[in-house]
Amino acid sequence: MLKDEINKALEVLKAGGVILYPTDTIWGLGCDATNAEAVDKLLAIKNRPAEKSLIILLDTENKIQSYVTEVADVAYDLIEYAENPLTIVFSGAKNLAQNVINTDGSVGIRVAKHDFCTPLIQRFRKPIVSTSANLSGNPSPKYFDDIDSKIVDAVDYVVDFEQENRSIKKPSTIMKLSAGGQFEFIRK
Domain spans, the chain? 2-187
Share the mean pLDDT of the chain: 92
- Pairing between β-strand 107-111 and β-strand 86-90 as defined by DSSP bridges: antiparallel
Q: What is the pLDDT of residue 21?
A: 96
More confident residue, 157 or 186: 157
Structurally, at CATH architecture level, domain 2-187 sits in Alpha-Beta Complex (3.90)
Least confident of 11-20, 41-50, 155-164: 41-50
Provide the pLDDT for residue 31: 98
State residue 178's pLDDT score.
Answer: 84
| Four-residue CA torsion sign, 120, 17, 53, 98 | positive
In degrees rounded to 5, what are phi and psi of residue 10? -60, -45
Reported as a pLDDT band with limits 50, 70 and 90, residue 20 is: very high
Measure the CA–CA gap between 82 and 173, rounded to whole angstroms: 9
Rounded CA separation 158/177 (Å): 33
> What residues contact 153, with CB distance under 8 A and at least 6 apart?
none
SS3 (DSSP) at 19 = strand
- Overall average pLDDT of the 29-49 stretch: 95
Give me the pLDDT at residue 184, please.
86
**Strand partners for 183:** 177
pLDDT given for residue 52 in this prediction: 76
Distance (Å, whole) CA 167 – CA 165: 6
Distance CA 76, CA 144 (A): 32
